[in-house]
């Protein structure tokens, strides 16, 4: 115990020192002791913190009552803010009425819809699926909002009582909007607390997470409860959205990004304490206001203040208690599959190269037309882009698919790799640069994961998402990585085996071929790796961490290894990403751009290397579909909505398309007797489990008891022959 | 009596207000099966978790081979020679039965320098527990009883010095249980120490040389099977006086 306390103390001191250094280094002109500055800081900070608190509180309520972390929380708030705008500023309803309709009608309806259609199916899903579905929901809602309310028109929601003066606090005027915000935040805090601890509904909401059967015993209907949870979540999200929109503007990305703030506050609350979620929100609000009033980041770190929530999240992770190795929670997925044999993998690799090669050379007749799938320079360029994303996907297979570590950071790592490649040889066309980049990105991948290694898997997802945002706002914008004045192509063509590889129109075919060959090689490598003890250990670790530890697996080092592998692969993808983009801008790697890549891979089946190739085809399908329809305006957001909806559909098909296709096809192949056998076993097992659910009800009523049914029932009900007197005598039964 | 290879001293585990284990001292000796019995919720699984390091005890110590291992990581304990199975299955559901065992055998390579071949060990274990026919199936698709055997084989593949079995017979039918008992016997005769939690009384009484009885977290009796069956405290607290009277 003592050692741990000291460790935390040391960490706290180190963090405090670093923060003090940063604050000191970037201190602006404003004096801290000036009462005007101080009261501005407090007024702005508390008002902002109030809004963050509401959104974080709502997020924690849904997590604590349903066990699902809703990445779409802020996006839902964003959508509802637009609905409010539509009602109040387009239909000119009175503000209060518009708000009432938005928060008391639309929000609960949305919550119940989400619960019925999606969330209820996620209760027993794996963490990977839960994360993919809610992230998919986030992208879907963002895409829909952007489609309905085109971002080309600018919209504003005015502050409440904008015309009246507000209240003088010290030497600062607190506008009515801010005062209302703080009052509302306090009311919401009290109301949530009262609801969860003082009402019957709330108590059953909390009971349901601990044990669904327990909640059933106290007479709560699980369906009503989860519906209520999601409605409540949507209402708080909407309230926060409406309150913050006047501050940030009605901009979808900004509003959806508040999820990082909410996640940081939720981490401070350890995902369960509502009061702490409010405190967390307040801390972030105050920190943001503090930096706005007092700090002046140099031009090298001009966007650093936007990364404050990310940094707070990282710090919060450092101080979270270590997760216990819990037992009794594994879910056995009913998978009928077998290991891919080396020759099959080789065949697959050849097929990938053949398909893409034939397309790139114009040998596929249907894809040589003038528009759709046209093998023009444009489509070759796009093809290279999809393959690069495919490389990012394939870097995720060992990490997410095998080791079960959900990371949203690999696109950001690739971005950093692209920037590094400029300095490490890409600028001169030196292929060795790729190796150096990979060598840097491997430990980078590890570094990002480090704070979350000892925590629950969900925190890793949060940390990596925050890192992606941090990369976009701080790392990629640092002039020593990317000179903002340089707008031209940053890379010289790579010379490999006499081919010139770059994004220039003449080199594109060679580039596509190079990409697909490396892709196929990585595919082959992973398929072979899957047959080694490394992959086995990672999968074991993901299936049951507790059992892995008890057979002597050092979970920490084995996670570290997979993060390094994945980081190195992402680094390679990054070099290609840079080469494919040619010219890079500071905003080339936004956090949201990385998410569809992860989702499309997951949709195909994140455990299978071939899924990365299917993911590439999936990526290619969106512009192709759009072209087929003649690029209508309602399809402009397809690149967001497409992966989003596909990921949401994982609530129904959690294992990924490759799995379902494989399962159904394998049984048809004449030589795959094993697949048929396994399917039979599976059906038998399902029958065994179902007896617990349905058959008990009507046993003895509609059908007579049989001996094996009784035996099965005994097993289901855990009736042991404890009191069987014959067996009391040692060996008496024998 | 020989020196115990594994012993717990005054283990206390508290979950909030609930004291799941109170001052439990358990000794496990090489070359014999030690039973740990008690009604549901008595704290048996919690004791296993403490011994294997999955649960930190509120107080008390765990000794293995004379060394205090109370603060050691679970994986280090496994490397010292403690293996276990779980009451609620903890198999690797997306690996095949063979791979489940192979993972363990390969893991053993990291500390056991005897130059064994993991694949051979794996085959041997599959053979011993009778899983050769289903070795290529994903464990997630296997019936519970079979999956339990996979867990047993996985533990045995570590070549442990102490094996902790948490209700190994649940999900098995009578024949399979008997087979498991004779398999255990073989390993125990070669010097393995087994700590067995089990509800099947004939299994317990027929296999264990020595038994600890746990009730509400407290060890209420220890002794040979015959002594345990004759113990009036045990009879009233656990076995149910009525039943015992009928049996005698
Ligand atoms: N992680 C935990 N948190 C809270 N209570 C627990 C936990 N694990 C076990 N318990 C409680 O401790 C008691 C002993 O449980 P257990 O060791 O599983 O009993 P047994 O294996 O003898 O049936 C039970 O009342 C159980 O509910
Ligand atoms: Mg138990």
A289 or A631, which is more confident?
A289
Q: Where are the beta strands (DSSP E) in A384-430?
A: none
A515 or A304, which is more confident?
A515
The predicted structure's pLDDT at residue B238: 62
Q: Residues with Cβ < 8 Å from A346, sequence gap 6 or more?
A: A524
Query: Is the separation of the CB atoms in A359 and A383 below 8 Å?
Result: yes
Segment 106-145 of chain B within 8 Å of chain A by CB = 106-108, 110-111, 118, 134, 136-144
Segment 592-611 of chain A within 8 Å of chain B by CB = 607
Q: Three-class SS of residue B70?
A: coil
A547–B91 CB contact, under 8 Å: yes
The per-residue pLDDT for range B129-153, each reduced to its tens digit, is 989 988 988 898 888 889 999 999 9
Which token pair is A708?
A: 């094996």
Residue B160 beta carbon below 6 angstroms from any ligand 1 atom: no
Chains A, B: CB contacts within 8 A come to 185
Question: Span A598-618, mean pLDDT?
Answer: 94
B155 or A193, which is more confident?
B155
ipTM value > 0.85: yes
Question: Span A624-643, mean pLDDT?
Answer: 86
When mean pLDDT is compared over A180-189, A412-421, A709-718, the highest value belongs to A412-421
Helix (H) or strand (E) holding B194: strand B193-197
Question: Span A636-657, mean pLDDT?
Answer: 91
Residue B22 beta carbon below 6 angstroms from any ligand 1 atom: no
Pairing of strands A172-174, B67-68: unpaired
Question: Span A406-433, mean pLDDT?
Answer: 91
DSSP state of B167: S
Nearest beta carbon to residue B141 from set A335, A546, A550: A335
CA-based nearest distance B4→chain A, Å: 21
The per-residue pLDDT for range A314-368, each reduced to its tens digit, is 999 988 888 888 887 777 776 667 788 899 999 999 999 999 998 888 777 655 4
Query: Is the separation of the CB atoms in B89 and B151 below 8 Å?
Result: yes
The per-residue pLDDT for range A288-320, each reduced to its tens digit, is 999 888 888 877 787 888 899 999 999 999 888
Contact with chain A for residue B41, Cβ under 8 A:
no
Atom of ligand 1 nearest to the CA of B49: 17
Q: Please give the Cα distance from A174 to B44 (Å, whole number).
A: 61
In a mutational test of the B interface, the residue from A124, A532, A551 whose CB has the highest number of chain B CBs within 10 Å is A551
Contact with chain A for residue B15, Cβ under 8 A:
no
Contact with chain B for residue A1, Cβ under 8 A:
no
Residue B111 beta carbon below 6 angstroms from any ligand 1 atom: no
Provide the CATH number for the domain formed by B6-19+33-92+161-247 in this structure. 3.40.50.300
| Cβ-Cβ contacts under 8 Å, A400 against chain B | none
The predicted structure's pLDDT at residue A1: 44
Please name the residue of chain B whose CA is at the shortest distance from the CA of residue A708. B173
In a mutational test of the B interface, the residue from A321, A550, A555, A717 whose CB has the highest number of chain B CBs within 10 Å is A550
Atom of ligand 1 nearest to the CA of B48: 17
Question: Span A64-93, mean pLDDT?
Answer: 94
The per-residue pLDDT for range A537-586, each reduced to its tens digit, is 999 999 999 999 999 999 999 999 999 999 999 999 999 999 998 888 87
Is residue A420 very low, low, confident or very high in pLDDT (cuts 50, 70, 90)?
A: very high
Residue B34 beta carbon below 6 angstroms from any ligand 1 atom: no
Give A427's Cβ-side CA count (13 Å radius): 12
Pocket test for ligand 1, best of B43, B55, B85, B167 (most atoms within 8 A of CB): B43
Segment 328-387 of chain A within 8 Å of chain B by CB = 328, 330-339
B189 or A631, which is more confident?
B189
- Residue nearest atom 8 in ligand 1 by C-alpha distance: B46
The predicted structure's pLDDT at residue A700: 43
Other beta carbons less than 10 A from residue B157's beta carbon: 26
Give how far Cα B135 sits from Cα of A531, A541, B84, B100, B142, Å: 15, 20, 21, 9, 10
- Angle of CA points A169, A170, A172, to nearest 5°: 65
Give how far Cα A595 sits from Cα of A25, A220, A585, A598, Å: 34, 37, 19, 5
Is residue A280 very low, low, confident or very high in pLDDT (cuts 50, 70, 90)?
A: very high
The per-residue pLDDT for range A368-382, each reduced to its tens digit, is 444 444 457 778 888
Question: Which stretch of A140-144, A322-326, A597-601 has the lowest confidence by average pLDDT?
Answer: A322-326
A328–B243 CB contact, under 8 Å: no
| First CA to last CA distance, chain B | 30
Residue A690 in this model has a pLDDT that exceeds 70: no
Question: Span A506-516, mean pLDDT?
Answer: 90
The predicted structure's pLDDT at residue A91: 92
Greatest extent of chain B over all pairs of C-alpha atoms, in Å: 55
Segment 252-311 of chain A within 8 Å of chain B by CB = none
Q: Please give the Cα distance from A364 to A359 (Å, whole number).
A: 6
B202–A730 CB contact, under 8 Å: yes
Residue A52 in this model has a pLDDT that exceeds 90: yes
Nearest alpha carbon to residue B103 among B89, B114, B92: B92
Give how far Cα A540 sits from Cα of A547, A645, B40, B103, B235, Å: 8, 31, 29, 8, 42
Question: Span A223-228, mean pLDDT?
Answer: 84
DSSP B36-97: EE-STTSSHHHHHHHHHTSS--SEEEEEETTEE-TT--HHHHHHHTEEE--SS----TTSBH
Residue B46 beta carbon below 6 angstroms from any ligand 1 atom: yes
Query: Is the separation of the CB atoms in B236 and B69 below 8 Å?
Result: no
Radius of gyration of chain B (CA): 18
Is residue A699 very low, low, confident or very high in pLDDT (cuts 50, 70, 90)?
A: very low
Q: Please give the Cα distance from A57 to A149 (Å, whole number).
A: 28
Q: Please give the Cα distance from A449 to B70 (Å, whole number).
A: 29
DSSP state of A472: I
DSSP A253-280: HHHHHHHHHHHHHHHHTTTT-HHHHHHH
For chain A, the average pLDDT equals: 85
Residue B49 beta carbon below 6 angstroms from any ligand 1 atom: no
**Global confidence as pTM:** 0.89
Which token pair is A553?
A: 């697996």
Is residue A216 very low, low, confident or very high in pLDDT (cuts 50, 70, 90)?
A: low
pLDDT over 70 percentage in chain A: 88
Q: How confident is the prediction along chain B (248 residues), in pLDDT tens digits per residue?
A: 578 999 999 999 999 888 999 999 999 999 999 999 998 889 999 999 999 999 999 999 999 999 999 999 999 999 999 999 999 999 999 899 999 999 999 999 999 989 899 999 999 999 999 899 889 888 988 888 899 999 999 999 999 999 999 999 888 888 888 888 989 999 999 999 999 999 888 889 989 999 999 998 999 999 999 999 888 888 777 655 444 444 43
Query: Is the separation of the CB atoms in A594 and A407 below 8 Å?
Result: no
Contact with chain B for residue A483, Cβ under 8 A:
no
B106–A537 CB contact, under 8 Å: yes
Other beta carbons less than 10 A from residue A343's beta carbon: 8
The per-residue pLDDT for range A162-173, each reduced to its tens digit, is 777 777 776 777
Contact with chain B for residue A718, Cβ under 8 A:
yes
Query: Is the separation of the CB atoms in B39 and B215 below 8 Å?
Result: yes
Nearest beta carbon to residue A327 from set B54, B142, B202: B54
Contact with chain B for residue A729, Cβ under 8 A:
yes
Q: Residues with Cβ < 8 Å from A210, sequence gap 6 or more?
A: none
Q: Please give the Cα distance from A401 to A542 (Å, whole number).
A: 9
Residue A720 in this model has a pLDDT that exceeds 50: no
Nearest alpha carbon to residue A252 among A344, A348, A339, A148: A148
Order of all β-strands in the sheet with B218-223: B82-84, B162-166, B193-197, B33-37, B210-215, B218-223
Residue B38 beta carbon below 6 angstroms from any ligand 1 atom: yes
The predicted structure's pLDDT at residue A716: 53
Q: Where are the beta strands (DSSP E) in A382-533?
A: 494-496, 499-501
Q: Could you identify the residue written with the tokens 């393959």?
A: A387
How far does Cα A241 stand from its chain's mean position? 21
Q: Please give the Cα distance from B184 to B174 (Å, whole number).
A: 15
The predicted structure's pLDDT at residue A707: 62
Residue A645 in this model has a pLDDT that exceeds 90: yes
DSSP state of A132: H
CA-based nearest distance B1→chain A, Å: 23
Q: Residues with Cβ < 8 Å from A220, sequence gap 6 or more?
A: A200, A201, A204, A205, A207, A208
Q: Could you identify the residue written with the tokens 């949530």?
A: A192
Q: Please give the Cα distance from A517 to A625 (Å, whole number).
A: 26
As to burial, measured by CB atoms within 10 angstroms (0-12 exposed, 13-18 middle, 19+ buried), residue A693 is exposed
Atom of ligand 1 nearest to the CA of B38: 22
Question: Span A606-616, mean pLDDT?
Answer: 94
The predicted structure's pLDDT at residue A627: 79
- Separation of CA B54 and ligand 1 centre (Å): 13
A731–B205 CB contact, under 8 Å: yes
* Angle between helical axes of A410-423 and A457-470 (0-180°, round to 10): 40
Which token pair is B37?
A: 């019995």
The per-residue pLDDT for range A442-495, each reduced to its tens digit, is 999 999 988 888 888 899 999 999 999 999 999 888 888 887 777 777 888 888
Q: Residues with Cβ < 8 Å from A691, sequence gap 6 or more?
A: A709, A712, A713, A716
The predicted structure's pLDDT at residue A213: 54
Domain ranges of chain B: 6-19+33-92+161-247
Pocket test for ligand 1, best of B8, B15, B55 (most atoms within 8 A of CB): B15
Residue B42 beta carbon below 6 angstroms from any ligand 1 atom: yes
């Amino acid at each position: 115990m003592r050692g741990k306390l000291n460790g935390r103390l040391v960490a706290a001191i180190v963090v405090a020192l670093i923060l003090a250094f940063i604050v000191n280094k970037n201190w602006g002109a404003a004096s801290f002791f000036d009462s005007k500055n101080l009261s501005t800081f407090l007024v702005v900070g508390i008002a902002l913190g109030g809004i963050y608190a509401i959104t974080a509180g709502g997020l924690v309520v849904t997590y604590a009552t349903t066990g699902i972390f809703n990445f779409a929380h802020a996006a839902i708030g964003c959508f509802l803010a637009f609905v409010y705008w539509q009602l109040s500023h387009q239909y000119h309803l009175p503000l209060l009425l518009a708000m009432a309709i938005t928060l008391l009608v639309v929000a609960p309806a949305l919550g119940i819809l989400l619960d019925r259609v999606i969330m209820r199916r996620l209760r027993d899903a794996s963490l990977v699926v839960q994360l993919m579905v809610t992230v998919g929901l986030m992208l879907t809602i963002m895409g829909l909002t952007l489609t309905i309310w085109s971002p080309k028109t600018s919209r504003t929601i005015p502050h409440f009582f904008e015309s009246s003066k507000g209240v003088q606090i010290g030497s600062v005027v607190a506008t009515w909007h801010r005062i209302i915000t703080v009052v509302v935040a306090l009311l919401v805090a009290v109301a949530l607390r009262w609801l969860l601890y003082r009402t019957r509904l709330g108590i059953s909401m909390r009971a349901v997470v601990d044990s669904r059967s327990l909640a059933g015993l106290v007479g709560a209907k699980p369906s009503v409860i989860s519906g209520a949870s999601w409605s409540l979540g949507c209402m708080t999200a909407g309230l926060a959205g409406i309150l913050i929109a006047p501050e940030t503007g009605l901009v979808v990305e900004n509003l959806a990004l508040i999820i990082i703030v909410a996640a940081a506050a939720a981490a401070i609350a350890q995902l369960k304490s509502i009061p702490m979620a409010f405190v967390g929100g307040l801390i972030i609000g105050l920190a943001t206001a503090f930096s706005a009033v007092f700090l002046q980041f140099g031009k090298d770190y001009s966007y650093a203040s936007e990364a404050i929530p990310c940094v707070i999240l990282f710090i919060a992770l450092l101080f979270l208690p270590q997760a216990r190795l819990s037992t009794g929670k594994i879910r056995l997925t009913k998978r009928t599959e077998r290991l891919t044999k080396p020759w099959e993998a080789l065949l697959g690799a050849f097929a990938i190269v053949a398909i893409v090669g034939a397309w790139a050379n114009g040998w596929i007749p249907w894809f040589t037309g003038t528009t759709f799938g046209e093998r023009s320079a444009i489509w070759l360029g796009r093809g290279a882009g999809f393959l690069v994303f495919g490389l990012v996907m394939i870097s995720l297979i060992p990490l997410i698919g095998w080791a079960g570590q959900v990371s949203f950071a690999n696109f950001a790592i690739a971005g950093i790799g692209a920037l590094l490649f400029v300095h490490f040889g890409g600028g001169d066309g030196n292929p060795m640069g790729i190796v150096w980049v990979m060598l840097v990105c491997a430990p980078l991948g590890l570094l990002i994961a480090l704070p979350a290694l000892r925590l629950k898997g969900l925190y890793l997802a949060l940390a990596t998402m925050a890192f992606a945002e941090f990369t976009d706002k701080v790392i990629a914008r640092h002039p020593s990585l990317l000179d903002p004045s340089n707008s031209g192509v940053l890379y010289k063509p790579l010379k490999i085996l006499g081919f010139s590889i770059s994004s220039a129109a003449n080199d594109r075919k060679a580039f596509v071929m190079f990409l697909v060959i490396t892709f196929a090689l990585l595919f082959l490598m992973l398929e072979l790796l899957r047959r080694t003890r490394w992959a086995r250990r990672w999968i074991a670790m993901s299936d049951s961490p507790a059992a892995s530890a008890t057979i002597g697996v050092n979970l920490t080092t084995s996670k570290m290894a997979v993060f390094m592998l994945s980081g190195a692969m992402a680094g390679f993808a990054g070099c290609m990403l840079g080469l494919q983009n040619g010219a890079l801008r500071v905003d080339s790697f936004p956090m949201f751009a990385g998410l569809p890549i992860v989702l499309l891979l997951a949709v195909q089946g994140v455990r299978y290397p071939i899924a990365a190739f299917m993911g590439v085809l999936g990526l290619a399908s969106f512009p192709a579909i759009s072209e087929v329809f003649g690029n209508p305006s309602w399809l402009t957001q397809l690149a967001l909505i497409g992966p989003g909806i596909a990921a949401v559909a994982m609530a129904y098909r959690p294992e990924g398309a490759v799995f379902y296709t494989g399962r159904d096809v394998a049984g048809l192949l004449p030589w795959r007797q094993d697949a048929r056998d396994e399917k039979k076993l599976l059906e038998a097992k399902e029958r065994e489990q179902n007896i617990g659910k349905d058959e008990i009800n009507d046993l003895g009523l509609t059908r007579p008891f049989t001996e094996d049914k009784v035996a099965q029932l005994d097993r289901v009900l855990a009736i042991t022959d404890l009191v069987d007197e014959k067996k009391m005598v040692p060996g008496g039964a024998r | 009596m020989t020196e115990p290879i594994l012993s717990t001293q005054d283990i206390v585990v508290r979950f909030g207000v609930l004291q799941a284990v109170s001052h439990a001292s358990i000794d496990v000796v090489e070359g014999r099966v030690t039973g740990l019995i008690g009604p549901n919720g008595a704290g048996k699984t919690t004791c296993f978790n403490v011994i294997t390091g999955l649960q930190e005890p509120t107080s008390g110590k765990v000794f293995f081979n004379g060394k205090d291992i109370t603060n050691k990581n679970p994986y280090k304990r496994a490397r010292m020679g403690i293996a276990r199975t779980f009451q609620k299955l903890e198999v690797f559901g997306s690996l095949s039965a063979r791979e489940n065992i192979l993972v363990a055998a390969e893991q053993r390579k990291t500390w056991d320098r005897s130059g064994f071949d993991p694949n051979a060990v794996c085959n041997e274990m599959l053979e011993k527990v009778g899983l050769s026919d289903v070795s290529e199936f994903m464990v997630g698709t296997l019936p519970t009883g079979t999956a339990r055997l996979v867990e047993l084989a996985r533990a045995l593949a570590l070549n442990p010095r102490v094996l902790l079995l948490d209700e190994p017979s649940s999900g098995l039918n009578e024949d399979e249980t008997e087979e498991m008992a004779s398999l255990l016997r073989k390993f125990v005769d070669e010097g393995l120490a087994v700590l067995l939690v089990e509800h099947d009384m004939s299994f317990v009484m027929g296999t264990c040389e020595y038994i600890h009885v746990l009730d509400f977290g407290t060890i209420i009796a220890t002794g040979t099977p015959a002594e345990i069956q004759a113990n009036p405290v045990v009879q009233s607290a656990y076995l149910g006086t009525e039943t015992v009277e009928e049996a005698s």
